[in-house]
Amino acid sequence: MSRVLVTGGAGFLGSHLCDRLIRDGHDVLCLDNFYTGSKQNILHLLDHRYFELMRHDVTFPLYVEVDRIFNLACPASPVHYQHDPVQTTKTSVHGAINMLGLAKRLRARILQASTSEVYGDPEVHPQREEYWGRVNPIGIRSCYDEGKRCAETLFFDYHRQHALDVKVVRIFNTYGPRMHPNDGRVVSNFIVQALRGEDITIYGDGQQTRSFCYVDDLIEAMVRTMETGPDFTGPVNIGNPHEHTIRELAEKIIGMVGGSSKLVFKPLPQDDPRQRQPDISLAKEKLGWEPQVHVDDGLRETIAYFRRLLGK
């Protein structure tokens, strides 16, 4: 049994990670300030003898005793991270500094949940870890994109300067139960609009692409990354290499939900990436991992979750 800290543990990904760590027999400390996380996501764990919840903001120092740290704290959807962009940057940068400082004191292994957004609007397709990205440093998405890039910088500087045992995963679009219904992401947007019988809003012409990874597959990859030896730091792409256009996704969800929703097209937001597809060769080689859940199966589970949540 390891004592494991999960920052952002009441969020979409964090709560699924807590579930997995508890199932694996670990003692889990879940940390969240509930800016985007929800107690509902971890309500079923509150009475578990090896689960503890702490309300705390990672932009402030933390003094606990743990063996491993998963740093997931940061709003991850454009709606949420653009609401308070200064705080978003602080969460990524100050949060990384505080968690790395904690890991240094404890000599604990620490994993950073980074993002495919470090590649920006890429000129290389699919994206490999060696690609440095094409990011606007002063745009409306920069608080998140550059915040995560700076967090990666800090992780590798702590690794080089202090010999800290670090891991960095770059997460591509992930979906599944416990997504926030108003987070502005395409999967949740399309499902909620379809269940409510509303028109489906597509930004741009719908030909921009994304690669959608089901949450269970993502968590499996994160756990495997944490279990690798100290010689492997990443960054490693974690995502589904099968690419879909946004329009294809919308039409698929309408077909699965049913109803009479129509497609409505609106202008593309600033700096919205045209392509997003991971090259997962490194994950296959180092983790023995690739996604197992077909997008249709994952969408069925996600639609069922939102039906229960919305009473539809």
- The tally of CA atoms less than 13 A away on the side-chain side of residue 74 is 30
3-class SS of residue 186: helix
Q: Given this model, what pLDDT does residue 1 score? A: 84
CA distance 284 to 51: 32
Residue 195 above 90 pLDDT?
yes
Tell me the backbone φ, ψ of residue 23, rounded to 5 degrees: -60, -35
Q: Given this model, what pLDDT does residue 268 score? A: 79
For residue range 270-293, list pLDDT tens digits in order. Answer: 767 787 889 999 999 999 999 999
For residue range 233-276, list pLDDT tens digits in order. Answer: 999 999 999 999 999 999 999 999 998 899 999 887 776 778 78
Q: Does domain 3-175+213-241+277-293 have CATH number 3.40.50.720?
A: yes
Q: Which residue has the higher pLDDT, 1 or 289?
A: 289
Query: Please, which residues bridge with residue 290 across strands?
Result: none
Residue 182 above 90 pLDDT?
no
Max Cα–Cα distance, the chain, nearest Å: 58
For residue range 41-79, list pLDDT tens digits in order. Answer: 999 999 999 999 999 999 999 999 999 999 999 988 777
Active-site residue, 35 included: no
Residue % of the chain over a pLDDT of 90:
85
Tokens of 34: 């509930």
From 144, 158, 175, 214, active-site residue: 144
Which regions of the chain does DSSP assign to beta strands (E)?
3-7, 27-32, 51-55, 68-71, 109-115, 166-171, 174-175, 200-203, 209-211, 213-214, 236-238, 243-245, 263-266
- The confidence band for 83, taking pLDDT boundaries of 50, 70 and 90, is confident
Q: Given this model, what pLDDT does residue 271 score? A: 65
- The confidence band for 109, taking pLDDT boundaries of 50, 70 and 90, is very high
